[in-house]
Amino acid sequence: MRKFRNPGRTAAAALALVLPALALAQRGTQRATAPKAYFPAPNAWEHRTPEQVGLSAKAVQDAVAIAVAAESNSPRDLLEAHRGTFGREPFGEATGPFRSPRGGAAGVIVKNGYIVAEWGDPGRVDQTYSVTKSFVTTTVGLAFDRRMITSLDDPVYKYMPPVVALKGSLGAFPPLVTVPPNVAGAANVSADQPPVPKTVAYNSFDVLEPFETDHNRKITWLHMLQQTSEWQGTLWGKPDWADRPKGDIEQWKTRARPEPGTVYTYNDVRVNLMALASLMVWRRPLPQVLKELVMDPIGASNSWRWYGYDNSWVVLDGALVQSVAGGGHWGGGLIINSLDMARFGLLTLHKGNWNGKQLISEDWINRSTTPGKANDAYGFANYFLNTGRKALPSAPESAFYHLGNGNNVIYVDREHDLVIVARWMNNLRAMDGMVKAILGAS
């Protein structure tokens, strides 16, 4: 006997099959038509008008006007500025290079990857001070991604061999000095014999073991990255206590030290130590690591440089290598232009991905922007967070920024696909004003 199907049930069944297929097709169409993220090519960066990226031209003009009006009133002569600030600290003498005088207020606004505004001279290479810390952190992250550092909870001392460092500045204590034969102490030679120089060896090197105390052996990579290590010691002629000491100097030198990981202390000596530890892991100069794995792939210019101090030279696999500075507290650090800073900001906005290539792992960027237990407004050095919207009330809480003295700022806002680089600003209030002007019309 022929069986008759329920037409309603048949139609319902057919519809149940068709609807998911239609939904999948719609999602596929949406994915296909969604605009692809734009990443600037080397030596080229497309510009858009504010209106083309959903902004108001007046809002962008207002933001630029705020940045220009808020130029720092500190001396443009950076050595003079240093003498009036960090140079007044104990052991405050400059030991690294400055590009002096600095430029004026400058920067760039990047929306959806495109430049919508520039001011000043964004191509000028200038000191960026503690924004350098974010690049030290990056070299540690690149090592972590490659399992050269197996866990951030590992004590750093396990990765640190004894470091042979040059005493003083390069050339001040040459390891070999040739003494001509006509000076005192030279070998006696007769008039008809050729002169035979005498080579004198000098004790020109120190052996550094910066983690060989009970306190310092507890310090982990995480402590160093979050600036909670409370490391004790002297590096490159600068004692840890001499960086931004508070109160009575003698008490500051002998105070009880908290356990590593419990207290946040912003300290350049310790970030310089993290740079040295990263150098020991890589066994390559950190500027070379950064150039090959980050700056060249993101199309940065060839004008940036990363310097250490006159006395931060170490022997590495038979060669003298400069351990770079983690900031510009005593000079040195990263000297870079605004456009290259914006490219780095765009890389961190995209969680380490540049045009489909994962240069820094997303896991590392997520860790970098996770609040530390001792300071919920700070992730890894130098990722400042907008926790509770306290620092930048006009910005979303998810925004973060790389910050250096001066002020030099890279503002990163994923919610609005926005990167702002502003250089030589009086304070962060000006950056908040810029954000308020832009987002108020977005």
Residue 175 pLDDT exceeds 50: no
Instruction: Between 154 and 28, name the one with better pLDDT.
Output: 154
Residue 185 pLDDT exceeds 70: no
107 within domain boundaries: yes
Reported pTM: 0.86
CA pair distance 284, 317, nearest whole angstrom = 9
Mean pLDDT (whole number) for 48-53: 98
228 within domain boundaries: no
Average pLDDT of the chain, as a whole number:
88
Instruction: Between 359 and 16, name the one with better pLDDT.
Output: 359
Confidence of residue 172 (pLDDT cuts 50, 70, 90): low
Question: How is residue 242 annotated by DSSP?
Answer: G
282 within domain boundaries: yes
Mean pLDDT (whole number) for 73-89: 94
Residue 191 pLDDT exceeds 80: no
Range of the domain at 308: 50-154+268-439
pLDDT of 180 reads 47
Per-residue pLDDT reduced to its tens digit, 204-218: 889 999 999 999 999
Q: How many CA atoms, within 13 angstroms, populate the side-chain half-sphere of residue 372?
A: 25
In three-state form (DSSP H/G/I as H, E/B as E, the rest C), the secondary structure along 278-322 is HHHHHCCCHHHHHHHHHHCCCCCCCCCEEEEEEEEEEEECCEEEE
pLDDT of 319 reads 93
Per-residue pLDDT reduced to its tens digit, 253-287: 777 889 999 999 999 999 999 999 999 999 999 99
Per-residue pLDDT reduced to its tens digit, 360-394: 999 999 999 999 999 999 999 999 999 999 999 99
pLDDT of 171 reads 61
Per-residue pLDDT reduced to its tens digit, 390-408: 999 999 999 999 999 999 9
Nearest Cα to 294, choosing from 343, 335, 342, 333? 343
271 φ, ψ to 5°? -70, -35
pLDDT of 12 reads 42
pLDDT of 423 reads 98
Residue 201 pLDDT exceeds 60: no
406 within domain boundaries: yes
4 within domain boundaries: no
Mean pLDDT (whole number) for 124-153: 98
Instruction: Between 52 and 5, name the one with better pLDDT.
Output: 52
203 within domain boundaries: no
Considering only the C-alpha atoms of the chain, give the largest distance between any 2 of them, rounded to a whole number of Å.
Answer: 132
Residue 88 pLDDT exceeds 70: yes
Percent of the chain with pLDDT over 90: 78
Percent of the chain with pLDDT over 70: 83
Per-residue pLDDT reduced to its tens digit, 233-242: 999 999 999 9
pLDDT of 34 reads 53
pLDDT of 442 reads 52
pLDDT of 168 reads 79
The single residue listed with the structure tokens 């105390």 is 213
341 within domain boundaries: yes
Torsion angle, CA of 61/67/68/71, rounded to 10 degrees? 180
State the CATH number of the domain containing residue 82.
Answer: 3.40.710.10
336 within domain boundaries: yes
CA pair distance 139, 282, nearest whole angstrom = 9
Nearest Cα to 74, choosing from 310, 429, 407, 355? 407
Question: Domain total for the chain?
Answer: 1
Instruction: Between 191 and 318, name the one with better pLDDT.
Output: 318
Instruction: Between 304 and 13, name the one with better pLDDT.
Output: 304
Question: How is residue 71 annotated by DSSP?
Answer: B
pLDDT of 441 reads 58
Q: How many CA atoms, within 13 angstroms, populate the side-chain half-sphere of residue 197?
A: 7
